[in-house]
Amino acid sequence: MALPAKKQFKYWGITSAVLAILLWSLGDVLLPFVLGAAIAYMIDPVADRLEALGLSRAAATSLIVVVSVLLFLLMLLIVLPTLITQLADLVRILPELFRDLRSFAQTQFPSVFTEGSRAQQTIASIAGTLQGKGIDLAEGIVGSAASLLNLIILLVIVPVVAIYLLLDWDRMIARIDALLPRDHAPVIRRLVSEIDQVLASFIRGMGTVCLILGCYYATTLMLVGLNFGLAVGFIAGLVTFIPYLGALVGGALAIGLALFQFWGDWWSIGIVAGIFAFGQVMEGNYLTPKLVGGSVGLHPVWLLLALSVFGALFGFVGMLVAVPVAASLGVVARFLVGQYLDSRLYQGFSYQALQGQAEHKQDEH
């Protein structure tokens, strides 16, 4: 005999509350395991493909590990040193660019920057705020240097967790499926399948889009000769998962740098602007429709709200689980709406009576 709905709601509510409390209290401890699980989830389709080609699960996992290590070493030797250097130089040179922009504006519009004017006060306030934020950032970097050991431990634990989860992924999923409540197992399987489709479309698809656009922006900007082209491409690709933000942030940064570097060479500045315009066309008309699809169901506003709320409540770990939780809540919300539309609360007795009369007439004919 199934439990009454009231008791089921009580037990599921208690379980959800316990999970939220654990996530809030053990966020830093759970970080490597969350990252490892995310990596294993993203790579699992590759392991499944290799198994379909005849490899065992252990052999497929070993091949993935070897290829990943080789790619990481390649990135470590070729790309990462240049990227880190450019990012550090970009952070260092931004205040100088701001001062040059202010000098240029004072030369072109001297009346606006008279002593005591509102524009001068606003710029001074912005400069003071940026200086204060810079000091806070420097203090944070110094403080984080003290936790270098934690970073090293994180870099060691995450790959180990990902490898073990990838090796046992199918068995783990089968074990969880066997523990589902029998009365609710079909509905839970259907909801989990829809959630998996949403996550696969968004995380794997948008991850591929971010990688392609980041490589495109970095390569083309470096070919044009823009300083910090690799760093700008990395930043633009990194934030592409939020629609239009990658092109907006990366384009503003790249065009601003191009104005200072190529001032007077309008052809080069136009090429930089055209690179981001073409990137937007390629993303909107080909990459996102092909790799992500139109049925993801994650509205950008819903995504930003989830990132903000979970980041404020649970920190960095909350931001990592924000997208899966948002996708899950979206699927559950659509399921509940469907249940409501089929319920007597929505349809009412009169609607059901009319529907019964229509079915009776069809039977007579």
Backbone Cα Rg of the chain: 27
pLDDT band for 142, please (50, 70, 90 cuts): very low
First vs last C-alpha separation in the chain: 42
Residue 232's nearest CA partner among 202, 204, 263, 261 is 261
What the block records as the tokens of 68 is 């990943």
Q: How many CB atoms lie within 10 A of CB 333?
A: 12
Instruction: Report how far residue 143's alpha carbon sits from residue 284's, in angstroms, rounded to the nearest whole number.
Output: 41
Mean pLDDT computed over every residue of the chain: 75
Does 291 score more than 60 pLDDT? yes
Higher-scoring residue by pLDDT: 32, 244: 32
Q: Where are the alpha helices (DSSP H) in 109-204?
A: 118-145, 148-167, 169-178, 185-199
pLDDT tens, residue by residue, 222-245: 888 887 778 888 888 877 766 666
pLDDT value for 272? 86
pLDDT band for 63, please (50, 70, 90 cuts): very high
Higher-scoring residue by pLDDT: 195, 307: 195
Instruction: Report how far residue 106's alpha carbon sits from residue 100's, in angstroms, rounded to the nearest whole number.
Output: 10
pLDDT value for 145? 41
Highest mean pLDDT among 11-20, 37-46, 256-265: 37-46
Instruction: Report how far residue 308's alpha carbon sits from residue 320's, in angstroms, rounded to the nearest whole number.
Output: 11
pLDDT tens, residue by residue, 308-332: 787 777 776 677 677 777 777 888 8
pLDDT tens, residue by residue, 165-177: 998 888 888 898 8
Q: Where are the alpha helices (DSSP H) in 53-146?
A: 57-74, 80-108, 118-145
pLDDT value for 110? 62
pLDDT band for 14, please (50, 70, 90 cuts): confident
Higher-scoring residue by pLDDT: 109, 199: 199
Does 144 score more than 50 pLDDT? no
pLDDT band for 68, please (50, 70, 90 cuts): confident
Q: How many CB atoms lie within 10 A of CB 235?
A: 21
Higher-scoring residue by pLDDT: 215, 155: 215
Q: Where are the alpha helices (DSSP H) in 225-298?
A: 229-238, 245-261, 266-282
Return phi, psi of residue 20, to 5°.
Answer: -65, -40
* CA dist 153 → 29, 32, 77 (Å): 11, 9, 21
What average pLDDT does this structure show over 121-131? Answer: 59
pTM above 0.75, yes or no: no
- Whether 130 and 136 have beta carbons less than 8 Å apart is answered as no
Residue 197's nearest CA partner among 348, 324, 70, 304 is 324
Does 88 score more than 80 pLDDT? no
pLDDT tens, residue by residue, 257-283: 787 777 777 888 888 888 888 888 888
Does 122 score more than 80 pLDDT? no
Higher-scoring residue by pLDDT: 146, 247: 247
Helix (H, G, I), strand (E, B) or coil at 215: helix
- Whether 324 and 199 have beta carbons less than 8 Å apart is answered as yes
Higher-scoring residue by pLDDT: 107, 51: 51
